[in-house]
Chain A
């Protein structure tokens, strides 16, 4: 068991596990966000629960942050190592004849997702941490001094999607996420050794997930921009 992370397969396995964890997170994030379209009150209740329940805040949130950082750092480390494995490039190469653009450019789609995530953190996560843990307001209310002022989460979300530049940025970010997932979803299962009779069905589900979930996030951004 020792040194497994120093081996090429061990690193692959770790990369795949972090990817599977992040894909589950993205799905639950989408499931909550889509509530903002159909039921603002439910969205507010769920957001407040997610933002204040200690298991999520103090246990799952650090795991998520570690997972995100690990996935990105390992991705860049592997890219550097892989580039070293071919010291001289081909004069003429035709990779499109044997592989997809998405599979060959995970570092680029991942890089753009990283830029998007940094902006997303500055936009949502840091103000949220500031409100709850620096200003000390755990009430989740629009006006903490008025008990029936209602939760602030839906209002904040709608407000964030007013500027068109932010909506455009989110659309671009999620297009890159779709491109990343179109290869990454199946790749993560292959890396953990799951290539069997279920692979064909899994590939179909991967396409639905990889296009459907990012498209759903884009829909949410556009919906709030044009409806409020």
Chain B
């Protein structure tokens, strides 16, 4: 069992200034997940009549991308290729002080405590992250369309992006290019994505810029911190697609 000091960002609402607050938590099992540890803390706070810490979570199995915690200076904590819900307390030591903060980006405003508004990603997706398919009953079977294996694999890799925002949180410029690069790539590599390829990349990049994300300077921090291991290759592909589309448009 471990005794921990937690330094957690507390902010009542979007307009509150917010501050780091200290909490002592004892008898933490190394087998707990990080979110279970926060559940225990919240139970203690509720029993003491205090406001529990608000944090995002849903599937708790690394699929939904909802948990968004910046733990000890790293997105999703000290381990790589996992989300915060997959992080276990055995990654920490008895007596540790753990800093827990929300994603920091102008485009991801804090809603409350550790919860941020990531609807900027939804708006980028709505700007072009889709294909138009005739679903009136005569839809072509996707399996009938031959796709080069290498392209299919790369498209699948890009499509594993869960939109958690760790790329933005880790980037010193709060750039969203890994996310947008993945979303552009998953369609750019497949025949179904070709029809709207030009508009897609132009509109998605335009929306990304309007949301106030920073410019990518290729530090590679996003790739390291991405829980799904999305490659920087996707940003390069988006750059290519954007330049091609700009020349066409």
Which residue on chain A has the smallest CB distance to residue B249?
A1
What 7 A-B pairs are tightest by C-beta distance, nearest first? A94-B73, A85-B214, A193-B240, A195-B236, A82-B173, A98-B224, A92-B99
Could you tell me how many residues of chain B have their Cβ less than 8 Å away from some Cβ of chain A? 49
> Is A86 an interface position by the 8 A CB rule?
yes
Known contacts A98-B224, A193-B237: A86-B208 contact under CB 8 Å: no
Q: CA of A87 to CA of B174 in the docked complex: distance in angstroms? A: 10
Q: List 10 A-B contacts (CB under 8 A).
A: A12-B216, A78-B217, A82-B175, A82-B217, A94-B72, A95-B172, A99-B219, A183-B219, A190-B235, A193-B239
Q: Does residue B9 face the partner (Cβ distance < 8 Å to A)?
A: yes
Contact of B236 with A190 in the complex, beta carbons under 8 Å? yes
Which residues of A from 5 to 21 have beta carbons under 8 Å from B?
Answer: 7-13
A165: which B residues are within 8 A, CB to CB?
A: none
- Decide: A81 near B239, CB < 8 A? Known: A4-B246, A7-B209: no
Alpha-carbon separation in the docked complex, A124 to B117 (Å): 54
- Give which listed residue, A11, A12, A104, contacts B172 with CB less than 8 A: A104
B219 to chain A, nearest CB (A): 4
Number of interface residues of A (CB under 8 A): 41
* Closest chain B CB from A95 CB (angstroms): 6
Apart from A81-B214, A91-B101, list 8 A-B contacts with CB within 8 A.
Answer: A1-B246, A7-B206, A81-B215, A82-B175, A84-B212, A95-B221, A99-B224, A183-B218
B→A interface (CB under 8 Å): 7, 9, 20, 70, 72-74, 78, 99, 101, 104-107, 170, 172-175, 177, 205-206, 208-209, 212-221, 224-225, 232-233, 235-240, 242-243, 246-247, 249
Chain B hits for A92, CB < 8 A: 7, 72-73, 99, 101
* B213 to A, closest residue via Cβ: A85
Q: Chain A 91-134 against B: per-residue CB contact (8 Å), 1 yes, 0 no?
A: 11111011110011010000000000000000000000000000
For A13, give its contact among B101, B232, B243 (CB under 8 Å).
B243
User: Please, how many angstroms separate the alpha-carbon atoms of A195 and B218 in the complex?
Assistant: 12
Alpha-carbon distance between A12 and B145 when the two chains are bound, in angstroms: 35
A34 contacts B by Cβ under 8 Å: no
Chain A residues with a Cβ under 8 A of chain B: 1, 4, 7-13, 78, 81-82, 84-95, 97-100, 103-104, 106, 183, 186-187, 190-196
A12-B104 CB under 8 A given contacts A97-B74, A191-B218: no
- Decide if A85 touches B216 in the complex (CB within 8 Å): no
Is there an interface contact between A106 and B239, defined as CB atoms closer than 8 Å? no
B106 touches A103 (CB 8 A): no
User: Which residue in chain B gives the minimum CB-CB distance to A6?
Assistant: B209
- Nearest CB to that of A107 among chain B residues? B217
Closest to A188 in B: B218
* Nearest CB in chain A to that of B73: its residue: A94
A195 touches B232 (CB 8 A): yes
What B residues does A89 contact at CB under 8 A? Answer: 104
Our pick among B20, B106, B209, B243 for the contact of A87 (Cβ within 8 Å) is B106
B89 → A minimal CB distance (Å)? 18
CA distance A82 to B205 in the complex (A): 16
Which A residue's beta carbon lies closest to that of B201? A9
**CB distance B238 to A9 under 8 Å?**
yes
Please state if A86 and B105 are interface contacts (CB–CB under 8 Å): yes
Report the minimum CB–CB distance from A62 to chain B (whole Å).
26
Contact present for A90 and B239 (CB under 8 Å) = no
Instruction: Please measure, in the bound complex, the distance between the C-alpha atom of A161 and the C-alpha atom of B215, giving whole angstroms.
Output: 40
